[in-house]
Amino acid sequence: MDKFLINGPCKIKGKVKISGSKNSSLGILAATLLFDKPVVVKNLPRVQDIRSMLYLLKSLGSKIILSKDNRTVKIINRKRMKTFCDYAIVKKMRGSFLVLGPLISKFNKAKISMPGGCLIGARPVNYHLAALKKLGMNFDIKNGYIMAQSKGRLKGSQIKFAKVSVGATTNTILAACLAKGTTHIKLAAREPEIFDLTQFLNKAGANIKWSGRTCTVVGVNSLSQTTYTVMSDRIEAGTFSVAATLAKGNLEIINFNPKIIETELKLLKKAGARIKQGNNKIFISGPEKIKPIKNIETKEWPGVATDMQSQFMVLMCMANGKSIITENIFENRFLHVGELQRLGATIRIQKNKAIIEGNTKFIGAELMSSDLRASVALVLAAMVSSGKSIINRIYHLDRGYENLENKLRNIGVKIRRVK
Ligand code: EPZ
């Protein structure tokens, strides 16, 4: 298994280009199952999760034509597609569950493994199933699989989620697209990736409108051929913004709309970063002294992204005072804390709050990655630790960060990958 060797501390300087959004790409690729005509998706990030999703679509019968640089894909579906999604695929990448909505809507049947939990939480799919049931999907669960079918075309309905859920909103929008009639989805997730998905679908002739947290989908009979460029990855942009703030950096981050991390950039300014926004880029420089932030709370969009929580925790370890981070989205998303403590951090956990003492002198150590975002926090901490760090199991990072070590090396980080 690959690992990273990092020699710290290092200063960050230069320019980094943000890749396409992993999470937006997953929803859009799942949505291609709704199409009879060829569909082209551009700006895909070259990460493992995208390769897994393309493998899944191919296993369902889609013809996948990838460009030489693997950033553009042309997808041509067959008239008759398979509708079975194996445990081995869903277990590896829970985003596979997003094919349920399109499969049941387009083919009126699906057999898909329950995703099960993961390290950051139980991650149930009850909201997905309840919403699809309201649209006319019948299902039962046997041997860990959801056996779903619908009597003919799904029918539009009124859906009101008890809690905001990105995945459940995605699955419901995809199912409602080709349903007969109109679906109103109340308390829908409004993350930029969902908006990217609905822009893609509307470009192909879907009829989806937003009013606040209500998404209205008027079912259409079919979607037309289209080409779409996926938005940039806001978590990658946020991660590099934290890196610059952390390591007294001077960084130009290009190829993304700063608006998609507006909340996180406001926090970084509070911590002392100096940020200049340009057209599809920012210039960010880190302060000599990082200021603590009393309370950082993760929330649904437009709040602080939960996928940025671990990165902010590393930053607050280096602040000159005490900070508190509250994780409101997932019940077990402090897996990075134990590893940061091994690097020298003083962090106390009280339920979903982490109290961070600050003024940490990180000392390099051997570390273990756990989930995608916790792993990138270890990279950030190792960057500013004195001495050598080894980060094991970096396959977690390869799932969601494209070419991370080269992007970091090009801006001054002493990092290399070893087998
Ligand atoms: C998406 O996960 C993202 N994944 C996650 O990114 C992200 O952290 C999360 O949204 C929150 O923004 C993808 O887009 C592929 P949720 P998702 O449904 O859809 C509970 C990353 O690192 N819930 O919004 O699974 C759930 O347990 C990943 O890129 C139910 O209870 O998240 C959680 O507490 C990690 N029942 C909360 O809602 C349900 O049926 C929010 O989950 C669904 C969700």
Edge-to-edge order in the sheet of strand 274-278? 13-17, 250-254, 281-285, 274-278
Q: Give pLDDT tens digits for 146-177.
A: 999 999 999 999 999 999 999 999 999 999 99
What confidence score (pLDDT) does residue 182 get?
98
Mean pLDDT computed over 10-15: 95
pLDDT score of 195 more than 90: yes
The residue whose CB lies within 8 Å of the most ligand 1 atoms, and thus the one to mutate among 21, 23, 397, is: 23
Cis status of the peptide bond prior to 124, with omega within 30 of 0: no
Catalytic residue among 118, 177, 215, 317: 118
pLDDT of residue 190: 97
Place 32 in a pLDDT band, splitting at 50, 70 and 90: very high
CA distances to 127, 230, 320 from 166, in Å? 10, 17, 35
Q: How confident is the model at residue 187 (pLDDT cuts 50, 70, 90)?
A: very high
- Vertex 129: Cα angle to 172 and 177 (nearest 5): 20
For the cut 90, the answer to whether the pLDDT of residue 116 exceeds it is no
Residue 5 Cα distances to 273, 292, 343, 349, 388, angstroms: 27, 29, 15, 29, 7
Stretch 341-351: mean pLDDT? 96
Q: What is the SS3 assignment for 324? A: strand
Instruction: Please compute the mean of the pLDDT values over residues 315-338 and round it to a whole number.
Output: 96
Residue 121 scores a pLDDT above 90:
no
Phi-psi region of 187 (alpha: psi -120 to 50; beta: other; left: phi over 0): left
Q: Quote the pLDDT of residue 123.
A: 85
Q: Which residue has the higher pLDDT, 119 or 214?
A: 214
Q: What residue ranges line ligand 1, CB within 6 angstroms?
A: 23, 26, 95, 121, 123-128, 163, 165-168, 189, 191, 306-307, 329-330, 372-373, 400
- How far is the C-alpha of 307 from the C-alpha of 333, rounded, in Å? 9
Mean pLDDT of the chain: 96
| Best of 47, 118, 123 for a ligand 1 pocket test (most atoms within 8 Å of beta carbon) | 123
Written as six digits, the tokens of 59 are 């296993």
- Please say whether the beta carbons of 307 and 278 come within 8 A: no
Spatial distance between the Cα atoms of 164 and 120, rounded to a whole number of angstroms:
17
Ligand 1 atom closest to Cα of residue 123: 27
Residue 117 has pLDDT above 80, yes or no: no
Domains defined for the chain, CATH in brackets: 3-19+232-418 (3.65.10.10), 22-229 (3.65.10.10)
What is the per-residue pLDDT for 122?
80
Residue with CA closest to ligand 1 atom 38? 165
Please confirm, yes or no, whether 10 is among the known catalytic residues. no
Q: Could you tell me the two tokens for 167?
A: 């995945």
Task: Judge whether 310 and 373 are in contact, CB under 8 Å.
Answer: yes
Query: What is the strand order of the sheet 158-160 is part of?
Result: 158-160, 182-186, 214-218, 207-211
Give residue 120's pLDDT: 84
User: Residues 407, 252, 369, 373: is their CA dihedral positive or negative?
Assistant: negative
- With cut-offs at 50, 70 and 90, classify the pLDDT of residue 63: very high
pLDDT given for residue 119 in this prediction: 81
pTM, entire model: 0.97
Q: Classify each residue of 111-140 as buried b or exposed e, where b means 16 or more C-beta atoms within 10 Å of its C-beta.
A: bbbbbeeeebeebebebbbebbebbbbebe
Over range 20-47, report the average pLDDT.
Answer: 98
Q: For 243-275, write each residue's pLDDT tens digit.
A: 999 999 999 999 999 999 999 999 999 999 999
The percent of residues above 70 in pLDDT, for the chain, comes to 100
With a cut of 80, say whether residue 366 has pLDDT above it. Answer: yes
**Residue 24: φ, ψ to 5°:** -70, -40
